[in-house]
Chain A
C-alpha cells in the first residue's frame, strides 16, 4: 500500500506531462500537492518535518536555479550580439551534414560541456544552437539531452561519482572500472541514438563508423582516466579526446553542399568568444587550487536536526545543500556572462538598449522553468523526508528478488528522474542498493555501477532538466512532447545498462 501511495506523485506527473501534454509548471504543481497530501495523510509527516523539508528543498532549488538563470543570461548575451546566428551560419562550413553536426555539437560538445559544467548547461547552451542550424525545436532539445547522459556520472568534475563513493563507503578503485565500462558502452549507444534523432535509420547507417570511432575514443579515454583515479576529469578527458578526433572527422562528412564556402574566421572567433570564456573560466575555477580556495571562502550552509515521521522513518541530522556562493557553477556562468558581454560590446555587436532587452528576455524565459523546478524539487524532498522514496525503492527491490541486478539501474534511473540529478539519486539510493546487493549476495560494485549509470542516463529525462532544454529551444509549455521523445531513447540506454549489470553480476559470481 505504501509503495502504491508513494508512486502516485510520480505517476501523476508522468501521466499529466506525457499523456495529457501538460506543461511542467502545472504538472509539477499537481505532483507537489499530491506528495504533500500523501505525506501528511499516510506517511505520518507533521508540520515540523514539512517545514524542514521545504527549507532543504529551497537550498537544493537555489543550487539548480542559479545555473539555469545564468545559463539563460549567457544565451541572451550571446543571442543579442548575434553570436548564436553567427555560429549557426558558420558550422555548416565544417560540415553541412546535419547528422554529423548533431554528432559533433549534440554529442561530443554536449559531453564536453557536461564534463566541465553541470546541471542543464549542455542542453541550455546547445539546444538554441541546433535550432539556429535549422533543427526542429523538439530534435534540438532531444539531441543534446541524449548526447550528454553518458557523461553525467564522471562529468561536473566527478561530483556524482564522489556522491556514490560517499553513500556506499566503497573505494573509487573498485567502483570506477564497472561504472566507466557501463557508461562508455552506453555512450556508444548514445551516439547512434543522436544520429537516429537527427536523421532516422538512414543517418544511423551512414554515420555508423563515425559514431564507432568517436564513441570508442571517448569511452576508452574516460575509462582510462577513471581507472587511473582521475575520476574528477574522466568525462572531461574523454570528451576533449572526442573533440580532437571529431573536427578532422567532420571534414569527411561535408554533406550535400560540396563547396561549403569561405568561412569568416574572425567573426566566428568573436561569436565563439563568449563560450570560450565560459570554458576557460570553468577550467580555471576547477583546476587552479588557489582560485578555487579564494572563491570557496563564502559558503551558504544550513544545519538541519534529525527529523522523524510518526511512522518512525528517520532523516539523520546534518547540513543541507552546501553552496560555495562565488565558486558555484551559476556564479561561474555569471562571470562568463559579464566577460562575454564586454567582449561583444567591445566588438560593437550591440544596439542601444541591449542590457534591458537581455534582462527582460531572460526573466520571461526563466520564470516558467523556475516555478516548476521549485514545485518539483519540493515534491522530491518531501517524498524523501516522509519515507515515500524509501518505500518506493524497498518495494521495487524486495518485489523483484532474484532479478534485482536487472532492476538496480532502473532504481537509479527512478531516483534521477524524481530529483533531476545523478548525484541526488546516488545519495538517496546508494546505501539502499549496497545493502540489498549484500543481502542477496551480488557484487556490490557492479550493482552500484548499474545504479549510477542508470541515474546518469535517466537524469536527462527528469522534468527539471526537460524544462530547461524546452525553454531554451522555444518549447516551453511543450515539455510533455520532449519527455515523450526522450523516454524511448533513455529507456533503451537504461535497458542496455540493465543487461550489462546482469552480465557483470553473472561474470563476477561464476
Chain B
C-alpha cells in the first residue's frame, strides 16, 4: 500500500514524463494492430491491445 502511494506520488511529480510515455504507448500500436488484423495474428493483436490498455491505466494513475 505504501509502495502504491509512493508510485502515485512519483507519477504526480513526473506528470509530463508519464503523459509522454502514455502518448507513445498509444501512438505506437495502431499500425501494427492493423497489420496483425490483416494477417489474422491473434496473439499480436492481444499484445498491442494490452499496450493500449496499459497506457490508459498509466493515465488513470496520474493525478
Contacts and interface: CB of A to CB of B under 8 A. Distances in A.
A67 interface: no
Contacts, number: 80
Contact of B30 (A30, A48, A57, A364): A57
A52 B46 CA distance: 12
Interface residues of B, number: 29
Contacts of A36: 49, 53
B40 A375 contact: no
Interface residues of A, number: 27
Interface in A2-41: 25-26, 28-30, 32-33, 36
A50 B56 contact: no
A377 B6 CA distance: 31
Contacts of A368: 19
A58 B30 contact: yes
B10 interface: no
B59 A375 contact: yes
A496 interface: no
A375 B25 CA distance: 11
Given A29-B59, A302-B34, A375-B56, A51 B23 contact: no
Given A25-B19, A370-B23, A371-B22, A33 B33 contact: no
A216 to B, nearest CB: 46
B16 to A, nearest CB: 7
Contacts of A28: 59
B35 to A, nearest CB: 9
Interface string B17-40: 001101100110111011011001
Given A33-B56, A55-B37, A374 B26 contact: yes
Interface in B29-63: 29-31, 33-34, 36-37, 40, 42, 45-46, 48-49, 52-53, 55-57, 59-60, 62-63
Interface string A353-388: 000000000001001101110110010000000000
9 contacts: A28-B59, A29-B59, A51-B48, A54-B49, A55-B30, A368-B19, A371-B23, A374-B27, A375-B26
